[in-house]
C-alpha cells in the first residue's frame, strides 16, 4: 500500500478527535442531540482549520445506521462509506471548478429525489464563494426551503464574497485559527503514535510556521521527517524553513537585558553566522519585549503560545519597566532606519547600542548592602560620603604630577605656559604653585561656609523631594538595631525606622521591587505585616506582588510572614524616598567638596571660571 500523508491519515473521524473549535462543536453537538437541525450550515475560516472535516463528520452523524447523534459509531456501512468517500448521498461539490449556473441547475435537479441509502441527502459545497452571481441566484429558493431530506453544508475561506441573501439563509460558524500551543501539542501526539523521534523546539517551529492551520502543520511535519531522515530535529527544521532559531534571538535579548555591550555584540556576531534577516530579527525582539512588558504589568496574561513563557517571565523580573519601554521604542525607530544603514548588520548593531546608550541610570538599591551602608553613618545619622580626598589612593591621572587635572567639574582651562606668549604670562603664578592642591582638601567636606558667594546655593542644599510626590513624607532615621553587629532586624522589632533597612536586605527586582520601594510600614501583629502602598504608584499592583513580598520577608526573617497591603497616602518616608533623599544629599556634598576646593576657588576668583553643576557626581558607592 502506498504511503498516506499525515494530513489525511490523521484527519479526525469524530468530533472528539477535533483539535480546538470548541465553540462550533458545542452548537453542533447540542443540535444533534436535541434534534434541532437546521437545513443549511455555513462554515468559514482560513485554510486547514477543519471546515470540510467538520462537514463530513456532521454528515456521518446524520446518516449513521444507529441513528442521528453527535457520536457516530464509525463502523456501520454508512460511516465506512463516508470515511472512504463513496457514500452516494453525500454529494461533495468543488465550487471552484463548477462555477457556471448550468452546473448549479444540474445539481439542483436531483434535490427533490429521496436519498438512495442514507437518512439525509447532504450537499457539501466547498469554496462556495467561487460560484457566480447567477449560480447564487439559482440556489436561493432551494437553499431557503429545501425538501426535509436535504441538508446543505457550505464551506468557504472568504465569506465576504457571499451575497447577503445566502448568508441570511444559513447558520454561520466561524472557525478560528489554531494556536501554536495546540498545534505543537497535537504534533507531539501524532509523532508519538507514529514512533518518530522529535525535539520539542522543532515542533514549536513547525507550529508557528503553520500559522494556525493544522493541515499545514502536518504537511510541514511530513516534509521535516523526510528532511531529517526519519527524525524531527530543531536544526533541520530551521534549515528547512529558512528561519532563525528563537533561542538565538532570546540570547540577544538576554544580553540586552544584562546591559553589557560586549555580550550584545558577541550575540550579534553569533547571529551573523546564520545570515539572518535583521529586520525580521528586530521584529522578533520587539515581540519578546512586548511580552516582557505584559509580564511586568499582568503576569497571568502571558500565554505560552510560543513555548517561552518561563523565559519571558524570568526576563521580566530582571529588567526595569522603563528600560523595556525604551528598548521597544528605540527598536521601532530602528526599523525605519535599518534600510538607510550602510549594511543591515551595522544598522542592527547601532539600534542595540542606541538602546544601551539611552538607558537611564536606575536609582540604585544594591542587594546585601544593609550592614555596609549602616556602618557608613555617623552619630548624627548622616551618611559620610566618600570624597576624592579619602584615604584610598586615587587612580593615576594621565597628566604630569606637576599639573594634575581638576576633577569632574567642567572649568575653563588655564593657558599653557609652553605655548602662551610672554606678554600673556605676566601676572600669572607659576604652575608649581598649584602642585600641592590635595593637601588642604581634608577640611573641605564639612566647610560649607567656605563656598564663594558667586557659587550656586543649590550646591550645598539637598534637592527637595518634589519629584516623589506633592509634598515629601516625614523623614525617618534608620533603626539603630540594624547598625549594631551583623544580625538582621528581628520581626518583633520591625518599625517605620527599620522598614527601609529591611527592604534593602530583600532581593526584590522588577515591578515587585519597585512597588515595594513605594510602601511604608504601617504595623504588624504576630506574623502579619501591614504595609501601605502609595496610591500614586498602585497602578500595576496585584495580589501576585503581595505574595512575592511575603515570600521574601519570610526568607529575610527566617519565619513565616503574611503581608497585608493597603493603598493610600504615604505619611512616612518610603525606601524609594529615602534613596532619593540620600542621593540628593550625596550630590550636595559632592558640590560642596568641589566649591570648597582651593584650586577651584582660585580658578573662579582669578579667571572667572564657571563650574557646570550637571557635571558633578558623587564619588564612591551609591546608596
Separation CA 355–CA 352 (nearest Å) = 5
Q: Work out the burial of residue 308: count CB atoms within 10 Å of its CB; fewer than 13 is exposed, 13-18 middle, 19 or more buried.
A: buried
DSSP β-ladder status, 150-156 and 121-126: parallel
- pLDDT over threshold 70, residue 516: yes
Q: Please list the residues that pair with 125 across neighbouring strands.
A: 93, 154
* Between 305 and 506, residue with greater pLDDT: 506
Separation CA 616–CA 15 (nearest Å) = 72
Give me 426's grid cell: 605676566
Phi, psi angles (nearest 5°) of residue 346: -65, -40
Mean of pLDDT over the chain: 79
Over pLDDT 90: what percentage of the chain? 33
Average pLDDT, integer, range 559-583: 89
Separation CA 442–CA 413 (nearest Å) = 25
Cβ-contact 411, 600 below 8 angstroms: yes
- pLDDT over threshold 80, residue 400: no
Cβ-contact 593, 444 below 8 angstroms: yes
Give me 458's grid cell: 543649590
At 44-62, the pLDDT tens digits run 999 999 999 999 999 999 9
Average pLDDT, integer, range 214-243: 89
Average pLDDT, integer, range 468-489: 51
Separation CA 202–CA 193 (nearest Å) = 17
- pLDDT over threshold 60, residue 302: yes
- pLDDT over threshold 80, residue 620: no
- The least confident of 159-163, 482-486, 606-610 is 482-486
Q: At what angle do helices 200-210 and 246-257 cross, to 10 degrees?
A: 100
- What is the pLDDT confidence band of residue 621, given thresholds at 50, 70 and 90? low
Q: Could you tell me where the DSSP H helices lie in 273-337?
A: 278-297, 309-318, 321-337
Separation CA 341–CA 354 (nearest Å) = 14
* Between 322 and 398, residue with greater pLDDT: 322
CA 213 to chain centre: 25
Q: What is the pTM of this model?
A: 0.52
- pLDDT over threshold 60, residue 108: yes
At 249-260, the pLDDT tens digits run 888 999 999 888
Cβ-contact 388, 593 below 8 angstroms: yes
Query: What structural domains does the chain harbor?
Result: 6-174 (3.40.50.300), 180-241 (1.10.8.60), 246-357 (1.20.272.10)
- The least confident of 16-25, 94-103, 373-382, 536-545 is 373-382
pLDDT of residue 101: 87
Phi, psi angles (nearest 5°) of residue 116: -75, -45
Nearest Cα residue to 46 out of 202, 156, 140: 156
- pLDDT over threshold 90, residue 29: yes
pLDDT of residue 410: 38
Amino acid at each position: 500500500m502506498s504511503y498516506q500523508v499525515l494530513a489525511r491519515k490523521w484527519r479526525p473521524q469524530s468530533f472528539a478527535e477535533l483539535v480546538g473549535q470548541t465553540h462550533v462543536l458545542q452548537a453542533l453537538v447540542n443540535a444533534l442531540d436535541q434534534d434541532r437541525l437546521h437545513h443549511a450550515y455555513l462554515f468559514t475560516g482560513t485554510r486547514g482549520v477543519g471546515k470540510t472535516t467538520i462537514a463530513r463528520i456532521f454528515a456521518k452523524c446524520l446518516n449513521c445506521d444507529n441513528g442521528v447523534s453527535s457520536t457516530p459509531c464509525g463502523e456501520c456501512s454508512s460511516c465506512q462509506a463516508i470515511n472512504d468517500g463513496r457514500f452516494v448521498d453525500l454529494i461533495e461539490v468543488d465550487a471552484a471548478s463548477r462555477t457556471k449556473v448550468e452546473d448549479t441547475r444540474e445539481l439542483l435537479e436531483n434535490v427533490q429525489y429521496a436519498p438512495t441509502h442514507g437518512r439525509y441527502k447532504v450537499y457539501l459545497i466547498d469554496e462556495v464563494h467561487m460560484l457566480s452571481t447567477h449560480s447564487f441566484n439559482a440556489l436561493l429558493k432551494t437553499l431557503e426551503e429545501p425538501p426535509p431530506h436535504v441538508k446543505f453544508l457550505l464551506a468557504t475561506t472568504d465569506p465576504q464574497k457571499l451575497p447577503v441573501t445566502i448568508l441570511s439563509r444559513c447558520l454561520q460558524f466561524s472557525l478560528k485559527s489554531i494556536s501554536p500551543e495546540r498545534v505543537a501539542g497535537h504534533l507531539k501526539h501524532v509523532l508519538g503514535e507514529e514512533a518518530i523521534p522529535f525535539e520539542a523546539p522543532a515542533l514549536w517551529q513547525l507550529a508557528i510556521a503553520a500559522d494556525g492551520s493544522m493541515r499545514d502543520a502536518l504537511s510541514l511535519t511530513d516534509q521535516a521527517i523526510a528532511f531529517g531522515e526519519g527524525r524531527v530535529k530543531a536544526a533541520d527544521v530551521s534549515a528547512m524553513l529558512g528561519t532563525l532559531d528563537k533561542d538565538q534571538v532570546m540570547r540577544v535579548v538576554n544580553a540586552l537585558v544584562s546591559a553589557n555591550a560586549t555580550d550584545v555584540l558577541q550575540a550579534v556576531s553569533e547571529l551573523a553566522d546564520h545570515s539572518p534577516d535583521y529586520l525580521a530579527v528586530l521584529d522578533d525582539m520587539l515581540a519578546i519585549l512586548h511580552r516582557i512588558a505584559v509580564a511586568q504589568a499582568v503576569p497571568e496574561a502571558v500565554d505560552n503560545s510560543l513555548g517561552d513563557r518561563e523565559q519571558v517571565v524570568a526576563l521580566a523580573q530582571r529588567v526595569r519597566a522603563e528600560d523595556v519601554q525604551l528598548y521597544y521604542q528605540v527598536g521601532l525607530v530602528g526599523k525605519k532606519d535599518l534600510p538607510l544603514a550602510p549594511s543591515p548588520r551595522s544598522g542592527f548593531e547601532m539600534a542595540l547600542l542606541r538602546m544601551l546608550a539611552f538607558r537611564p541610570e536606575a536609582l540604585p538599591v544594591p542587594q546585601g548592602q544593609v550592614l555596609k551602608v549602616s556602618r557608613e553613618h555617623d552619630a548624627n545619622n548622616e551618611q559620610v560620603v566618600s570624597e576624592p580626598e579619602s584615604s584610598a589612593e586615587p587612580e593615576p591621572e594621565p597628566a604630569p604630577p606637576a599639573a594634575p587635572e581638576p576633577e569632574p567639574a567642567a572649568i575653563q582651562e588655564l593657558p599653557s605656559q609652553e605655548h602662551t606668549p610672554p606678554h600673556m604670562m605676566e601676572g600669572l603664578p607659576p604652575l608649581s604653585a598649584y602642585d600641592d592642591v590635595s593637601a588642604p582638601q581634608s577640611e573641605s567636606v564639612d566647610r560649607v561656609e567656605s563656598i564663594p558667594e558667586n557659587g550656586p546655593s543649590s550646591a550645598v542644599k539637598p534637592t527637595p523631594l518634589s519629584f516623589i510626590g506633592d509634598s515629601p513624607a516625614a523623614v525617618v532615621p534608620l533603626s539603630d538595631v540594624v547598625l549594631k553587629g551583623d544580625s538582621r532586624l528581628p520581626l518583633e522589632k520591625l518599625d517605620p525606622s527599620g522598614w527601609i533597612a529591611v527592604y534593602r536586605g530583600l532581593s526584590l527586582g522588577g515591578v515587585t521591587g519597585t512597588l515595594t520601594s513605594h510602601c511604608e510600614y504601617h504595623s504588624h501583629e504576630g506574623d502579619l505585616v501591614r504595609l501601605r502602598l502609595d496610591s500614586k504608584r498602585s497602578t500595576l499592583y496585584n495580589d501576585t506582588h503581595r505574595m512575592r513580598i511575603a515570600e521574601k520577608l519570610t526568607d529575610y526573617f527566617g519565619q513565616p510572614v503574611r503581608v497585608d497591603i493597603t493603598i493610600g497616602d504615604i505619611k512616612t518616608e518610603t525606601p524609594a524616598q529615602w534613596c532619593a533623599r540620600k542621593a540628593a544629599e550625596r550630590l550636595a556634598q559632592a558640590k560642596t567638596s568641589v566649591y570648597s576646593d582651593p584650586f577651584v576657588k582660585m580658578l573662579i576668583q582669578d579667571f572667572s571660571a564657571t563650574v557646570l553643576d550637571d557635571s558633578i557626581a558623587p564619588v564612591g558607592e551609591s546608596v
